[in-house]
Structure formats: C-alpha cells, structure tokens
Amino acid sequence: MTRQAAIERIEQYFDNGGFREDLARRVAIHTESPIPERRPELYRYLTDEMTPRLQQSGFTCQVFDNPLPDAGPFLVAHRHEDDSLPTVMSYGHGDVVRGYDDQWRKGLDPWSITVEGDRWYGRGTADNKGQHTINLSAMEAVLATRGRLGFNVVLLLEMGEECGSPGLDEFCAAHKDLFAADVFIASDGPRMQPDAPTVFMGSRGVFNFTMTLELREGGHHSGNWGGLLANPGVIMAHALASMIDARGRIRVDGWRAAPMSETVRAAIGRLKVGGGDGAPAIDPDWGEPGLSPEERVFGTNTFEVRAFETGNPRNPVNAIPPRATVWGHLRYVAGTDPDTLLPSLRKHLDANGFGAIELKSERDMMLATRLDPAHPWAQWAIGSLTETADGREVAVLPNLGGSLPNSVFADTLGLPTIWVPHSYAGCSQHAPNEHVLGRVCRDALRLMTGLWWDLGEGGTPAPG
C-alpha cells in the first residue's frame, strides 16, 4: 500500500508487455478524423475499446454526439468516490491524422506497433493514444495498489482534435455540470527534451489576418503608367515596415506583450530551446530586443508574414500590379487581449497613412492561456513529478510556444490547467513514421503513477 508499490506495479505492466498490448489494440483502430468514412471507427474507439476498460475501473461512461454535424463524438467518464475528495478532470483525443499508409518506411505499418530499438512506431503512439493510455494505466495501477484512488475523476475523450476540435467548446459550455473539477491534468505534445519530465500550463494564442490593398481593376503597362500610378506592392511593403522593423521587433502599439511576471521569467530562465536533429540555427539578433531566445518564444508576442503577393510571382510582367495582399500571423501570450489586436492594427495603419489597406481577421482564433508556475496546483504537480524523477529537474513551461485548445478548459470551464507531455520533438506526429520512445513511455508511466498516487494522499491545494 505504498507509492513505491504502485510504481513497481506500473513498471511490471510495462516490462511484461501490458502497455504495448493496450496501445497496439488502440493503434489498430483506424480513427482518422479527417476522413468522413472513418466516422464509425471514431465511435468504435469509444464504445468498444475505452468504455469497457474504464467500466472495469468503476467509471460510468456516456458517449455524446457532437453538437456540430459531421464532427466526432465525445466520451465523458466519471468515477466518483466521495464529495469531500478533490476531483481531477482529464482529457485525451482518440482520433488521429491520416495514416498516409504508403508513405511509411518499408517494414512499418501505421496501424500496428513495430518496435525498433527504443522506437515504437505506429499512428497515434505519440498523438494522442499513447499519452492517454499512459495516464489511464497509471490510474489503474494506483487503484489496484490502494484499493481506491483517493480522488474523483471526470475524463473527456474527444474524437475531432485533428480537425481543430469542432464542437469541443460548445459541448463543454453546454455541459459545465459534467465537468465540475478542482484541477485539469492531461497529456499531449512533446517534452522539452526526451529525458526531461516536463509540464506546461497553457499555450500561446494565434491571430491570423489578411491585409489587402486594391488600388484599381487591372494591371497597367509600366512604360506608359509608371510614375503616374501608385504601386500597391510598394505601399504594402512600407506598411509592413511600419509594423515590424528589419530585426523582427513589433512596432504596432498594443501588439507587444506586457512584461513577464517574475515567476514566469524565472521558469523560462531554466529552459533551453534549440538543438536536436535537423533543427535550424537560432538567429541571435531577431525579435524583441533584450530578451533571451527562450523568453522570445515562450514569453512574448511574435509577428510573422506568412505570405505576401503582388502581381503574378509565377509570371512577372512589366506592369504596375493592381493589388497586394499580406497574410499575417501573430502568436501572443496570455495577457494580450485578442479583441484589441485588429483595432490596434487599424489605428496604426490609419495613423501611418495606410488607411486604404483593408483588414480581415481569419476564422476562429486559438486563445492564449497560461497558469502562473507559482499557482498552488502547478507547484503541487511539479513537486510530485520531482519526487519520482530521481534527481532530474522538471522542465516548467508557463505556456507552450505553439497553440492548443486549452482555453476550453482554462476559460470556458475555469480550471487550473496542467499538461504533462509524454512525447518528444522528433516523434514525427502528423507525418509518416510517427513513434514514441519506449524509455520515455516507461518513465511517463512511473511519473503519472506517482502523480495520481499523490493526488489521493491528501494535502492537495484547497478548492477554489
């Protein structure tokens, strides 16, 4: 009945092939959410694979249709022990991107697990079947060792994450009662380095927009009209130059991130970005001046030109083009109000003489979230992982540099969010030859068993 006994139990589960067997069964289900014909498989993953297994551990399970047509279903599973105990919400996604079956290396098959050395190949091993299998198996080990968990659980599995999580926010907003919890703990994405236990507590947001300057109907011969007609490509280039300088520093008022809090700065100060196979060299002089590379990617806002078109780049002619378009992109950290981004740009362009440029924001934005590393639940999770980590330091990211639908859990449901990723940057998720590292899976099973054990031990942060 000890923490160590639970960890030994999960080590045996891995060493005796139990983890590989569970994961292989899940990988074998063709849950490719971008392919409409796979819809029955999305349901089968929840009804035939996950529900029976969860029921064995005393979960009550319910599968819900997506509120949006043609989007994947949800499984909501509850295990309730006592009202006085803390409740954790966990999450995973059972859908995968397309298999791209014919593009995998010879000898590999996306729908079964092939082990080569420390690499376990198969679609979904990293994203996300392997990760939620680790978390649920670790919970089973705690239950088997202690005889009870010592906490309540609500689990949400979605089957549309690879299509941008359609209906997830609407579903959670409509069923807040189902997701009443004290803390959110789930796993997705890569560790900072393969052997570094990692937590991240939010993500940067994404704001995509287009800038269009259309001055007239068609192109005009530059010999006859050059010097008489304004060139929209030139004007757009100057507009861009007014928005960001030649070293990547943002110049739009309201677009730069507020200074980091001391705790966020301290957490980022312990991280190291870059390196690894095929990684490009970091440009030391790019971006917000006075910040480290780590602060630039995790602690501030960055603006990119995704594309810029004027005239016909594939067939340039000697003419003044009629229009220019820029596809712009801002990644922003929590603390930047996304509703102000487009108005701030409008104001900036008008003030700089670019009032003729039209602006449009693109589809839904992914919102930024961040839990301060000093938050009691963050400190609690870091403490538990550190205890299992055998002297390794836990990498703490206040937020990912990339984006994920964490605002559903952090904002819509109002939970402190803690992510413990079990993959690594070289895992080829979304590409052929997706894989996980066996040693990282074993390590992650141990860490999560320790975490769930500690959650049931009492002494967790007070509710609210």
What residues line the site for Zn ion (CB under 5 A)? 127
Q: Please, are residues 427 and 436 in contact by the beta-carbon 8 Å criterion?
A: yes
- Closest CB 128 distance from Zn ion, rounded Å: 7
Instruction: Provide, rounded to whole angstroms, the least separation between the CB of residue 29 and Zn ion.
Output: 16
Helix (H, G, I), strand (E, B) or coil at 176: helix
Answer yes or no: are the C-beta atoms of 331 and 306 closer than 8 Å: no
Which tokens go with 444?
């992650």
For Zn ion, which is the closer residue by CB, 385 or 436? 436
To Zn ion, the closest distance from the beta carbon of 31 in angstroms equals 12
CB of 166 to Zn ion, least distance (A): 14
- The DSSP code for 9 is H
Closer of 23 and 357 to Zn ion (Cβ) = 23
Q: What are the residues facing 152 on neighbouring strands?
A: 87
CB closer to Zn ion, 165 vs 388? 165
Question: In whole angstroms, how close is the CB of 127 to Zn ion at the nearest point?
Answer: 4
User: Which residue, 31 or 87, is less far from Zn ion as judged by CB?
Assistant: 31
Residue whose CB is less far from Zn ion, 130 or 202 = 130
Residue whose entry in the numeric block shows the structure tokens 């507009």: 239
* Cβ count near 383 (within 10 Å): 12
User: Rounded to an integer, what distance in angstroms lies between the CA atom of residue 323 and that of residue 325?
Assistant: 7
> Cβ of residue 327: shortest distance to Zn ion, in angstroms?
23
Output 127 or 295, the one with its CB closest to Zn ion.
Answer: 127
Q: Min. distance of Cβ 95 from Zn ion in angstroms?
A: 9
Task: List the beta strands (DSSP E) in 57-138.
Answer: 60-64, 74-79, 87-93, 114-116, 119-121
Distances (CA, A) of 80 to 88, 90, 177: 10, 14, 14
Residue nearest to Zn ion (CB): 127
Of 451, 446, 386, nearest to 15 by C-alpha is 446
CA-angle at 149, arms to 57 and 158, nearest 5°: 55
- Evaluated on CA atoms 345, 347, 351, 354, the torsion sign reads positive
CB nearer to Zn ion: give 203 or 231.
Answer: 203
